[in-house]
Amino acid sequence: MCGIVGLFLKDSRLEPQLGQLLSDMLITMTDRGPDSAGLAIYGSATEGKAKVTIQSAKPDIDFADLERDLAEAGLPARVAVKSTHAVVAVAAARLADVRSVLAAIRPDVRIMGAGDSVEIYKEVGLPKDVVARFDIRSMSGSHGIGHTRMATESAVTTLGAHPFSTGSDQCLVHNGSLSNHNNLRRELIREGIAFETQNDTEVAAAYLTAEMAKGKDLGQALTGALDDLDGFFTFVVGTKSGFGVVRDPIACKPAVMAETDRYVAFGSEYRALVNLPDIESARIWEPEPATVYFWDHQKAA
């Protein structure tokens, strides 16, 4: 089944509440999937800096002295630990080096996502526990997406949790199941893309990354997904400044959206939206099948 939520703020005065609002939305969707939960939060970017969210099954060992060990490996970084996750902040020019240095000095650490502004937190367990463990409520940001999983494809593991991030500042959450993901995975591997799981959603995320690497914007990549991905899907995606929604042509997975002057919100069910400010006066609608919806801070500005 799965439950997905998303919130894209137009009014920057709401930004300090992003974590709080998104947490409540996701917890409301708990009964759509109890296996794992995750959130991606787009916070403020620092000029010239990039960050990588990493996860460890043994955070006490892996994260101890990580800052020092990174420096010794020639990669100056700041490490902020949150439970099983840590956010490694480096100079933007060094972002590509983080993967290789970590693989050398901390081979068991997994990279959840990277970019200028995104932080991704996901674990096995209920949304309320994931939200509390990573103190999501205290986070501010411009937009974010969340997912609570009922596993249908691939194992119940931290890596099998959503959001899936396969490109810088990109991430995707999915309700549904894809039927041509194995073929598509093989094609993407031939194009040089690496996969970490057998999960169908990771293929969808990687597909979008690959299409955007060819020069498409997210809207164009999502339009292409309608032709190239087979199966049931409702996707909610985030980019550094954008937020998109698309459903397959059959559109049997539920979706409801709300828009006011201050935000755009997505929920698998209307229940997820009822605590948002001024929801009573929001325009509320069900996204049409095979139709791409997309908002972008940069385009709005």
Which residues participate in catalysis according to the annotation? Answer: 2
Please identify, using beta-carbon distances, which residue of 47 and 280 lies nearer to another protein: 280
Q: Which two tokens stand for residue 298?
A: 């940069």
CB atoms within 10 A of CB 212: 18
SS3 call for 175: strand
Q: How far is the CB of 295 from another protein (least distance, A)?
A: 22
Euclidean distance between CA atoms 253 and 232, whole angstroms: 7
Task: State the Cα torsion 184-187-189-190 to the nearest 10°.
Answer: 180
Asked if residue 254 binds another protein (CB under 8 A), the reply is: yes
- Smallest distance, Å, CB 236 to another protein? 18
Determine, following the binding rule CB under 8 A, whether residue 111 of this chain makes contact with another protein.
no
Binding range to another protein, per CB under 8 A, among 19-27, 140-148, 164-172, 246-254: 246-254
Q: What share of the chain is helix, strand, coil (3-state, %, to 5)?
A: 35, 30, 35
Burial code (b: 16+ CB inside 10 Å, e: under 16) for 174-208 equals bbbebeebeebbeebeeeebeeebebbbbbbbbbb
By CB under 8 A, tell whether 269 contacts another protein. yes
CA atoms within 13 A on the CB side of 280: 1
Of 31 and 135, the one with the shorter C-beta distance to another protein is 31
- Specify the residue, 140 or 177, whose C-beta has the smaller distance to another protein: 177
Among residues 71, 91, 104, 252, which is the contact residue for another protein, using CB under 8 A?
Answer: 252
> Minimum distance between the CB of residue 269 and another protein, rounded to whole angstroms?
6
206 — alpha (psi -120 to 50), left (phi > 0) or beta? alpha
How many residues interact with another protein (rule CB under 8 A)?
15
Residue with tokens 């296996």: 35
Tell me: does residue 270 bind another protein (CB under 8 A).
yes
Structure tokens at 150: 């009922």
User: Is residue 274 involved in binding another protein (CB under 8 A)?
Assistant: yes
Note whether 271 binds another protein by CB under 8 A.
yes
Can you tell me the distance from the alpha carbon of 284 to that of 118, in angstroms, rounded to the nearest whole number?
27
Binding mask 179-198 for another protein (x = CB under 8 A): --------------------
Q: Which of residues 34-63 bind another protein (CB under 8 A)?
A: none
Residue nearer to another protein on the CB measure, 163 or 267:
267
Closest separation in Å from C-beta 294 to another protein: 21
Q: Which residues bind another protein (CB under 8 A)?
A: 251-252, 254, 256, 269-274, 284-286, 288-289
